[in-house]
Every structure is written in C-alpha cells, then in structure tokens.
C-alpha cells in the first residue's frame, strides 16, 4: 500500500463530529428504548483442530435471552486440519445499554477459557481488551497444551462488526514432531508448506512521534487536493496510526510459539543516519516504524535455542518502505545485526534462492547448524539484474485492494498463483491470504454518495481502540481462504508444485499453522 493510501485512511474525525455523533446516538437510543430493541450484528469465524476444545460465542439479547453459536470439531479429511466455519451473532438490548458478547473455548459443556466483552449499544462501542492486547493465549487443559487466537473489531458502516476465535494444539515443535513421526523422517524442505507472518514486525509502533511527524509531512506534500481538508482537520494520534498499520498482535517469540516459521520483515532506518544499528533500525510499514529489528532477532534466537528441531526463514525486503523517510538496511549492516543477535550455536545462512534447499531433508537442514535462513533483497528485474530469483507471489495491488468485504479477487489470485507453481521458474510460491483493507477503503473517499461512510470511517479508525481495519477483514477472508486450501483443486495444485510453498496472513493464528502442517504431510504423501 502506498504512503498516500495509508495516510488517507488514518485521518481522525474532528472532536466536533465525535461529540455530535455521541449526542445523536444518545437521543436515538433514548427515543427508541421504549419501542424497539437496539442491536448490533457480528460476523464471526471459528476454527478448531481438535476434538477436546471447540469455539463458542455467547451473544446476549433483549429480555435476558441469549444465543450461543458453537462450532464443534469437524474433520476435514486431512490430518491436523479442522474445518473453518462462520455465522452471524446478534447482540441486542431493550432498556439497558450494555449486552455481553463472550468467547469460550468449550470442553463439552465446560468453559476451559473465556474472553468477555460488553457491547455498549448506547453508542455502538465495544468495551474490553482492545486490539493491541488481543494477543494469543497459551494454556493447558487436562494433560495437553493449547493455543487460542481471537479478535473483535469495530468496522465502519455499512459493514457488520467482526470477531474470530481459533483454537488449536500447541505447535511450538511442529517441525521436530513431524520429522520424528513415522513416515516423515525424510520430508524435504520442498515438501513444506510454511505458515508465514505478513509485515511480521508491525505488532507495535516503536516511535509514535516519528510516525505522526512523517504523516504530517505526507499530508503537506503528497495529498491530492480533495483530501487536503482531511489533513487540516485530522487529529494525528496513536490510535489512528495503529488502526491503519498494525498487521500483527503478537511479538515474534509468540508468533513462533503459534507455529509461524516464515517472517516478512522490512527493516529500515531514518534518512540522514549514516548506517543501520540496533537503536535506529525497525520494521517499516510505509512511513511508520514498527518493532526494532534487534528485538525480533533476539526472539528468533531465543526460541530456536529452546526448540532445537525447528528452523526459521526470514524474508528481508524493502517493499512498502517509504524511501522519503527511511532507507533499507544494507546486506553488510544486516549481516552485522545477525552476528550480534543470532547465537553461534543456532547459526544463520544467507541464501538467494530457497529452491536450492528443496531437495534437502528438513532433518539435515536442522542438523547442519544454520537454522535461520535469510533471503535478502529485491527480485531480479530489468532495473535490478543482480536481484534474487523470482518468487511466485499471489499479490496484486488492484485485487488486494478490491474489496473490504469480499475475498473473491484475492482468492482468485491465490488459486491462479498456486496453479502456476507447477510450471517452475520460481524459487518458491508465496500465497498471501490477507486483504489490504486500508487501500480498499479509498474508493469510498472519492464518491460523494459514500459521505456517511467517510465520516464513520474517520470516527472508527481514528478514535476506536477496536477500529483496526486490517483485523476487521480477517474473519471474512479466513472464512473463504482457509477452506479453499482444503479443496480438491488446491490439493491437486500443491501436489503438482515442486517448490516450497508459503501461506501468509495478517494476525497469524493456529489455524494457519495446522493447515500448513496438514498440507506439508499431504504433499509428502502424494
């Protein structure tokens, strides 16, 4: 997404508009309370990979009644993989302004884990743990360890709000368990389907002051004339920046515990600094500085020290960095950072072409003592003849910004890209399952009939601790893309593909991991 696209979405509405909306909401609620119930619909997506625990949503409704949407385990026909399901949950009230909306990991009729929210129907706001704190939960039930991923998002009209709840077995050692299981000691790197984190370092904004200053600079120089008033009215703040740019909620160590083994990292440092170092180098999303590179590498080293049968792939690239504010880390500075932060006993290797590892067994790669595999730099092109070999990547700017709600265009690109994998010619295949929702909002800003949406989007994204537009689209896209990975067409394409395959998502989760494990085994077996 371009810096201008990002900037256009994160403009906060003025305090005047926010106050007016609150007053109008109060009047509407009080006038309707004696006649009609007030309600809010949530589109929900659920997943479990085991028969012990399943997701359940409790939705409180008018008159003390409630609806519970439960999603017990359904076998997919492929080992390790469950079935992704979805529905709509209505939360409503008659006289009281609050109603409960709770998430449960259920063991039969017993709640083994609960996350509780209150929906304030007085102003349509969510009350509870905000998005930046909706981190993965790791817990034990009975004699087994589990992971719970969840999210709840406030979306602008006319869309329903969304929520998701995924439950899975602990997959911290899935590679070691795979190579240690009967029939898979010889599984190769080329058989693997790797679960991946898109913009892996955007689980925090490391310098809000710099991000705000950069945004003001963009507003002053690159904004089309019709958006100038938004820049003038905007109250630049951390909430708006987070809602438009955060693509993960978990630190790298926890992303690894979830099972993620491929990380999209885009390290940069400020223009004017002589070189990259541990103090100035962070993941960069457009003009917004994310997590420090040093901390991310420390997490990788720590995790691999604790889990000796695992490997990690780091894709270090400059795509998406606004070079008006940040410069991409050089290979020399990157190597120095790896030397400082990756323990010698773990080791790393810089490779230009992942396909050179395809024929090697996973066990032999682990045993070689260089368990961090780093792919650095841009792909080869007419303007970059010395770049790395081509990556068969599903991403397309237009299609990934085509819709907030419909995954059709993205799913079509994913399917076409996987089908093309059998033709070879690339080092690996990258299937990006996430939406570029912030870019998909842009058409609404240029069409006058969507003026109410513009105002509501400014309010939600600018002011709501639950307004991350990127997380908001995740349940819709997961509900289509995860089941598609189990389809006969996808399975046939995976078997015909003779290179590593990466499945990448925002807000990485245990469903992504269990699909990757199941599909890796399927490719090996077929």
Q: What pLDDT does 235 receive?
A: 52
Q: What pLDDT does 110 receive?
A: 96
Q: Tokens for 521?
A: 């085994």
**Model confidence, pTM:** 0.91
Nearest alpha carbon to residue 309 among 170, 504, 172, 501: 172
Query: Cβ atoms within 10 A of the Cβ of 514, count?
Result: 29
Q: Are the C-beta atoms of residues 131 and 466 closer than 8 Å to each other?
A: yes
Q: What pLDDT does 452 receive?
A: 54
Q: What pLDDT does 26 receive?
A: 39
Tell me the DSSP string of 312-356.
Answer: EEEEE--TTB-TTTEEEPPHHHHHHHHHHHS-TTT-EEEES-GGG
Kind and range of the H or E element at 420?
helix 408-420
- Interatomic CA distance for residues 408 and 481, integer angstroms: 9
Q: What pLDDT does 73 receive?
A: 96
The answer to whether the Cα torsion of 493, 494, 497, 501 is positive or negative is: positive
- Going by their DSSP bridges, the two strands 161-169 and 38-48 should be labelled as parallel
Backbone angles phi, psi at 62, to 5 degrees: -55, 140
Query: Cβ atoms within 10 A of the Cβ of 274, count?
Result: 7
pLDDT tens, residue order, the chain (526 aa): 444 444 444 433 333 233 334 433 433 433 444 345 567 899 999 999 999 999 999 999 877 789 999 999 999 989 889 999 999 999 987 657 789 999 999 999 999 999 999 998 777 789 999 998 999 999 999 999 999 999 999 987 778 999 999 999 999 999 999 999 999 999 999 999 999 999 999 999 998 888 878 777 777 665 544 444 334 444 546 777 888 889 999 999 999 999 999 999 999 999 999 999 999 999 999 999 999 999 999 999 999 999 999 999 999 999 999 999 999 999 999 999 999 999 999 999 999 999 999 999 999 999 999 999 999 999 988 888 889 999 999 999 899 988 888 999 999 999 999 999 988 889 999 999 999 876 666 665 555 555 555 556 666 776 788 989 899 999 999 999 999 999 999 999 999 999 999 999 999 999 999 999 999 999 999 9
The answer to whether the Cα torsion of 389, 391, 395, 398 is positive or negative is: positive
For residue 364, give the DSSP letter: H
- Interatomic CA distance for residues 291 and 48, integer angstroms: 30
- Interatomic CA distance for residues 184 and 126, integer angstroms: 46
3-state secondary structure string across 202-268:
CCCCCCHHHHHHHHHHHHHHCCCHHHHHHHHHCCCCHHHHHHHHCCCCCCHHHHHHHCCCEEEECEE
3-state secondary structure string across 99-131:
EEEEEEEEECCEEEEEEEEEEECCCCEEECCCH
Domains of the chain: 38-171 (no CATH), 174-525 (3.20.20.190)
- Going by their DSSP bridges, the two strands 392-393 and 372-376 should be labelled as unpaired
Backbone angles phi, psi at 391, to 5 degrees: -110, 130
């Amino acid at each position: 997404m371009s810096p201008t696209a990002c900037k256009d979405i994160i403009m906060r509405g003025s305090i005047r508009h926010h106050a007016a909306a609150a007053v109008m909401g109060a009047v509407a609620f009080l006038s309707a309370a004696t006649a009609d119930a007030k309600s809010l619909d949530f589109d929900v997506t659920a997943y479990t990979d085991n028969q012990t625990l399943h997701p359940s949503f409790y939705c409180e409704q008018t008159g003390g009644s409630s609806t519970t949407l439960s999603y017990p385990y359904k076998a997919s026909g492929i080992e390790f993989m469950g079935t992704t399901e979805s529905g709509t949950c209505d939360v409503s009230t008659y006289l009281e302004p609050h109603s409960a909306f709770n998430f449960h990991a259920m063991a039969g009729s017993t709640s083994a884990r609960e996350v509780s929210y209150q929906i304030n129907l007085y102003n349509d706001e969510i009350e509870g743990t905000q998005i930046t704190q909706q981190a993965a939960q790791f817990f034990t039930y009975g004699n087994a360890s589990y992971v719970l991923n969840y999210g709840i998002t406030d979306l602008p009209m006319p869309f329903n709000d969304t929520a998701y709840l995924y439950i899975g077995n602990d997959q911290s050692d899935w590679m070691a368990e795979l190579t240690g299981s009967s029939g898979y000691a010889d599984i190769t790197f080329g058989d693997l389907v790797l679960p991946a984190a898109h913009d892996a370092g955007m689980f925090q904004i490391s310098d809000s002051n710099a991000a705000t200053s950069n945004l003001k600079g963009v507003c002053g120089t690159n904004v089309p004339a019709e958006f100038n008033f938004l820049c003038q009215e905007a109250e630049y703040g951390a909430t708006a920046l987070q809602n438009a740019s955060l693509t993960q909620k978990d630190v790298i160590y926890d992303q690894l515990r979830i099972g993620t083994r491929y990380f999209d990292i885009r390290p940069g440092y400020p223009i004017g600094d002589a070189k990259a170092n541990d103090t100035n180098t962070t993941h960069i999303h457009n003009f917004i500085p994310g997590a420090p590179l040093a901390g991310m590498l420390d997490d990788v080293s720590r995790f691999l020290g604790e889990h000796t049968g695992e490997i990690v792939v780091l894709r270090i690239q400059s795509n998406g960095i606004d070079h008006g504010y940040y410069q991409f880390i050089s290979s020399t500075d990157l190597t120095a950072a790896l030397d400082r932060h990756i323990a010698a006993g773990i080791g790393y290797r810089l490779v230009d072409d992942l396909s050179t590892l395809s024929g090697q067994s996973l066990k032999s790669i682990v045993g070689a003592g260089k368990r961090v595999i780093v792919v650095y730099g841009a792909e080869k092109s007419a303007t970059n003849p010395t770049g790395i070999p081509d990556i068969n990547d599903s991403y397309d700017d237009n299609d990934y910004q085509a819709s907030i709600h419909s995954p059709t265009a993205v799913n079509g690109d994913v399917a076409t890209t996987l089908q093309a994998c059998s033709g070879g010619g690339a080092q690996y295949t990258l299937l990006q399952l996430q939406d570029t929702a912030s870019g998909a909002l842009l058409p609404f800003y240029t069409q006058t009939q969507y003026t109410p949406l513009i105002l509501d989007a400014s309010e939600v994204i600018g002011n709501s601790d639950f307004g991350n537009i990127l997380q908001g689209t995740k349940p819709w896209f997961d509900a289509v893309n995860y089941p598609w990975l189990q389809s006969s067409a996808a399975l046939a394409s995976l078997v015909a593909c003779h290179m590593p395959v990466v499945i990448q998502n925002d807000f990485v989760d245990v469903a992504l991991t269990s699909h990757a494990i199941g599909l890796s085994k399927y490719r090996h077996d077929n």
